[in-house]
Structure 1
Amino acid sequence: MLSYLHGFHAGNFADMHKHAALWLVLSHLRKKKKPFCVIDTHAGSGWYDLGSEQAAKTGEWKDGYALAKAGANPPEMLQQYLDHVAGFDPMTRGRDYGVREDDEYRGPFYPGSPFIVREMLREDDQLVLMELHPREFETLHHRVKRDDRIHLHKRDGYEGLVGMMPPAIRRGLVLMDPSYDVKQDYQKAAIAIRHAWGKWPTGTFMLWYPILEDGFDVDLRRSFGAIRSAGGVLCAELASRDGGAKGRMRGTGLLVINPPWQFDQQLDEIGNWLAKTCKLPGPAKHSVHWLVAAE
């Protein structure tokens, strides 16, 4: 199904958690001079206007990014990320960031994962993006086509990930955050990442998933718990016990294979702060635990 558009949800509490984790991994990869690659399997349109009709219809960013930005004393690494978002303004980059003269923009703007990564890339690093939705792909292509470090594919992210393994640059990250429009996406995500990890066992893999009342995430954790990676498999969740309406998220989760050193401690500090600062359906808590211990 291709009905999902992230513009309705950009900057919500799930994005805060997911993108803070992405920032941590990128910061780690940049510590060494050796090039790295990032593969983003469900890239979306790249960046989002939080003043758009889509964002205004749900207002989810006001319970996520807006509250985090105004929050007191965030952890240092989260503050770095929040400063990055606050300074993100595609209007100043114009054509390089795909700003169209005939479109009306209101702002503020929020970078999706492709542009979080793009602004962290160095000269020899590479970013591979996959997007299947026709409208999202066309918009993303317009926004990244002038950057030679970025390779965009109109391709199914599950199939494409396995087909691209192992990458030419053997140091890096795979980010997979499907829409989960259909419950089969949980199984597809688990199968694709397990096959990709089998071909690239030293890579870092990060899978995002929503926590719903239906409980489809249980099988995801069970599947990842069977991946005997030397670098371990970590599960991090920011969630409320209250689910609200049927099908609505009560939380957000990440499964990470081969996380960087101290990633678990840094993300737990960030997650605990977000639990107190952002608005979820009810009182929230953050948890981090190893499904498979690192050797």
Structure 2
Amino acid sequence: MLSYLHGFHAGNFADVHKHAAMRIILDYLCTKEKPFCVIDTHAGSGWYDLGSKQSAKTGEWKNGIAAVQQKANPPKQMQPFLDQIAAFDPIAKGRDYGVFEDDNLTGPFYPGSPFIMREVLRDHDEMILMELHPREYDLLEYSVERDPRIHLHKRDGYEGLVGMMPPAIRRGLVLMDPSYDVKQDYQKAASSIKRAWERWENGMFMLWYPILEAGFDAELRENFTQIKAKGGVLCAELSTNQGGAKGRMRGTGLLIINPPYGFDQQFDEIGQWLCDAVKLPGPATHRTQWLVPSQ
């Protein structure tokens, strides 16, 4: 399915939850001098103007990143993510961030996963991006083509991830966050991650999924219990029991293979804080649980 455009949803509560987790892992990778590789299988267009017509149509960012930025006393481990969002300014970067001279940009701006990753990369690190949607791919290509650390592929993220395993740099993170336009995406995501992990068992993998009334996420979690990674498989969910209109999210979840040591406690503190910061259809709760214990 190529109908999904993330610009309608950028900066919502799911993005904040996902990207806060990703930033912790990226900071962990930077604690060692050894190079690392980050792979984004469904990269989107790179960054988003929250003042655009797309964002204005849904306004989801107002209950996500805008609400978070207004909440006092964030956990200290979330501060690097919040600082990055506050400082993100593609206009100041100009052509290097894909800004056209005649672009009618209003802001505020929100970096997608590729640009959160890009701004953390060091000179000797690498990033692999995959995007199949023609319009999203073109925008992303224009934004990153000058960066020699970035390798962009117009390729299906499910098969592309497996085909690229293992990466040349054997230390790093894979992010997969499909649109889940069709329910088959849940099975495709689980199968792709499992096959990729079998070829790169020490890699870190993070899969995002929506929590819907339809309950497709239950089978996804069950599939991940079969991945016997030495570093374990962690599940983290921010959700509410209310809401549930057809197709609407009542929560957001992450499945993380081989998370860094101590990540579960760090991220649960963030999740508990987010319960009072973001706005879901009803009162929010956060839980972290090991589907597969670390060895």
TM-score, length-scaled by structure 1: 0.99
Aligned 1:141-160 pairs, distance under 5 A: 141-160=141-160
CA distance in 1, matches of 2:229, 2:78: 28
Q: Tell me which residue corresponds to 1:86.
A: 86
Q: Deviations 1:6-25 (Å, cap 9, x if unpaired)?
A: 00000000001000000010
Query: Matched residue of 1:4: which SS?
Result: coil
The answer to whether the 8 Å contact 1:228/1:292 transfers is yes
C-alpha deviation, 1:83, in angstroms: 1.1
User: Any gaps of 5 or more consecutive residues in structure 2?
Assistant: none
Q: Tell me which residue corresponds to 1:260.
A: 260
C-alpha deviation, 1:102, in angstroms: 1.9
Q: Tell me which residue corresponds to 2:200.
A: 200
Q: Tell me which residue corresponds to 2:251.
A: 251
Q: Deviations 1:41-99 (Å, cap 9, x if unpaired)?
A: 00000000000000000000000000100101000121221111010000001011010
CA distance in 2, matches of 1:10, 1:72: 22
C-alpha deviation, 1:138, in angstroms: 0.2
Query: Matched residue of 2:48: which SS?
Result: strand
Runs of 4+ in structure 1 off by over 4 angstroms are none
- Which one-letter code corresponds to 2:134 in the other structure? P
Tell me whether 1:55 sits opposite 2:55 in the alignment.
Answer: yes
C-alpha deviation, 1:158, in angstroms: 0.1
The answer to whether the 8 Å contact 1:212/1:243 transfers is no
Q: Deviations 1:112-164 (Å, cap 9, x if unpaired)?
A: 00000000000000000000000000000000000000000000000000000
Q: Tell me which residue corresponds to 1:237.
A: 237
Q: Tell me which residue corresponds to 2:27.
A: 27
The answer to whether the 8 Å contact 1:211/1:251 transfers is yes
C-alpha deviation, 1:243, in angstroms: 2.6
Percent sequence identity over matched residues?
A: 70
- Which one-letter code corresponds to 2:109 in the other structure? F
Tell me whether 1:284 sits opposite 2:278 in the alignment.
Answer: no
Q: Tell me which residue corresponds to 2:109.
A: 109
User: Any gaps of 5 or more consecutive residues in structure 1?
Assistant: none
TM-score, length-scaled by structure 2: 0.99
- Which one-letter code corresponds to 2:165 in the other structure? M
Q: Tell me which residue corresponds to 1:36.
A: 36
Q: Deviations 1:208-235 (Å, cap 9, x if unpaired)?
A: 0000000000010000011111000000
